[in-house]
Amino acid sequence: MAKIDDFETKIRSKMNKTIRAVTRNVMNDLAQAGPVWTGEFRDSWVATSMGTGGTGTGGSYPYQLKDIPELPITKRETSRKTKITISNLADHAAIAMDLKESEYEYPGQEPEGDIILRGTRQSGIRGDIGPKEKDGGDNRATAPLDWFPTYIKGGKFQKAISRGIKLDLPEED
């Protein structure tokens, strides 16, 4: 009987490790897909265990497994449907994710990330930059408009999940 318990614990432990690895992959994907001006938004992704409320070491890009909180391996906790959430703690996260409008000022330094859009701002949405108009502003963006829903809905999120599972499952003790 003890052996079955040990086996179940081992399975649950392995499952948790897989979830943490997938979470790390997704956080790194989000950091790569999103805008990077000072790097604050890129480095503010955090994973939170729904079972303990723990957030690991926090960390910054590139995120590592130690940045992801350990998950409880009790039967009750491992049967929890949502085990972990990923969020961004930057004050301007909603603006960076193109969910809210804002006003923009040149911060006096060029972005850390590559500029992929440059031209005249069309609205208060971060990535809504069109071709440069005469007398229009010289605005820049380091991620395309709606990069976040594109990642979540365009298949890359699902791919990150399957990648994590494929990487972890073949491991043998």
Binding pattern for the stretch 65-94 against another protein, x by CB under 8 A and - elsewhere: ------------------------------
**How are beta strands 139-141 and 45-49 bridged, if at all?**
unpaired
**What is the greatest pairwise CA distance in the chain?**
78
Is 32 a residue that touches another protein (CB under 8 A)?
no
Task: List, in order, residues 6 or more apart from 50 with CB less than 8 Å away.
Answer: 80, 82, 83, 84, 85
Is 116 a residue that touches another protein (CB under 8 A)?
no
Please identify which residue in 40, 70, 77, 128 interacts with another protein, judged by CB under 8 A: 128
**Residue range at the interface with another protein (CB under 8 A); choices 21-29, 44-52, 57-65, 128-136:** 128-136
Edge-first strand order for the sheet with 139-141 is: 129-130, 117-121, 139-141
Nearest to another protein of 45, 151 (CB atom): 151
φ and ψ at 107, to 5 degrees? -80, 0
Label residue 47 exposed, middle or buried (CB < 10 Å: 0-12, 13-18, 19+).
buried
Is 131 a residue that touches another protein (CB under 8 A)?
yes
Nearest to another protein of 62, 155 (CB atom): 155
Is 115 a residue that touches another protein (CB under 8 A)?
no
Please identify which residue in 15, 50, 86, 125 interacts with another protein, judged by CB under 8 A: 125
Is 20 in a helix, a strand, or coil?
helix
Count Cα neighbours of 97 within 13 Å in the Cβ-side half-sphere.
20
**Residue range at the interface with another protein (CB under 8 A); choices 11-19, 24-32, 49-57, 141-149:** 141-149
Which residues here bind another protein, judged by CB under 8 A?
A: 98-103, 120-125, 128, 130-131, 133, 136, 144-147, 149-156, 159
